[in-house]
Amino acid sequence: MDAERPSVYVFVYGTLTDPNRVEAVLGAIPDARYELESDAALEGLRRVEGEYPTLAPDGRVEGRLLAVDERGLEALDRYEGVDHGLYERIAVPCADENVDDSAWIYVGDPDRLGVTERVDWPDGKSLAERVRTHVSRHGVVVRRDE
């Protein structure tokens, strides 16, 4: 990775908290810049389990911040199945002066992921719209652990 710092943050809470998995997903991308950074928490959402983990309203989930460039973000979208509707990428405000306005999170469709726990997002036309509504109404933030 070159010395220039990646410019986009993603809060990761599943397989991408593992440096070896990050390397497997992003290491083969030509000229991609990425860095798995400090521990962080997502406040206002919780992790729920299915075939793959996803998020649900309320609670707190531990994870890490992953800094990536645009090529890395595109690779993460492919890895998370965004084009196939498996996960949606949603912006969440950061409560950290060292991070720009927001970080991305990936929220999976609980029905497609086989989540058995009830997940109640606000009403809306799409999962992305429903998650964005919850994020804005309930003050969901990403906070770097100190």
Per-position DSSP letters for the chain, written without gaps between them: --SSPP-EEEEE-SGGGSHHHHHHHHTTSTT--EEEEEEEEEEEEEEE-SSS-EEEEEEEEEEEEEEE-HHHHHHHHHHTTGGGTSEEEEEEEB--TTS-SEEEEEEE-TTTTT--S---PPS-SSHHHHHHHHHHHTT-EEEE--
- Give a yes or no: residue 66 inside a domain: yes
- Give a yes or no: residue 58 inside a domain: yes
Please give the tally of structural domains in the chain. Answer: 1
Question: What pTM was computed for the model?
Answer: 0.91
- Give a yes or no: residue 13 inside a domain: yes
Segments forming the whole domain that contains residue 107 = 8-141
Find the CATH number of the domain harbouring 75: 3.10.490.10
Q: How confident is the model at residue 145, as a pLDDT? A: 82
- Give a yes or no: residue 1 inside a domain: no
Q: How confident is the model at residue 98, as a pLDDT? A: 60
Q: How confident is the model at residue 118, as a pLDDT? A: 93
- Give a yes or no: residue 28 inside a domain: yes
- Give a yes or no: residue 3 inside a domain: no
Across the 146 residues of the chain, what is the mean pLDDT of every consecutive 10-residue run? 69 95 93 90 96 96 95 95 96 78 94 94 94 95 87
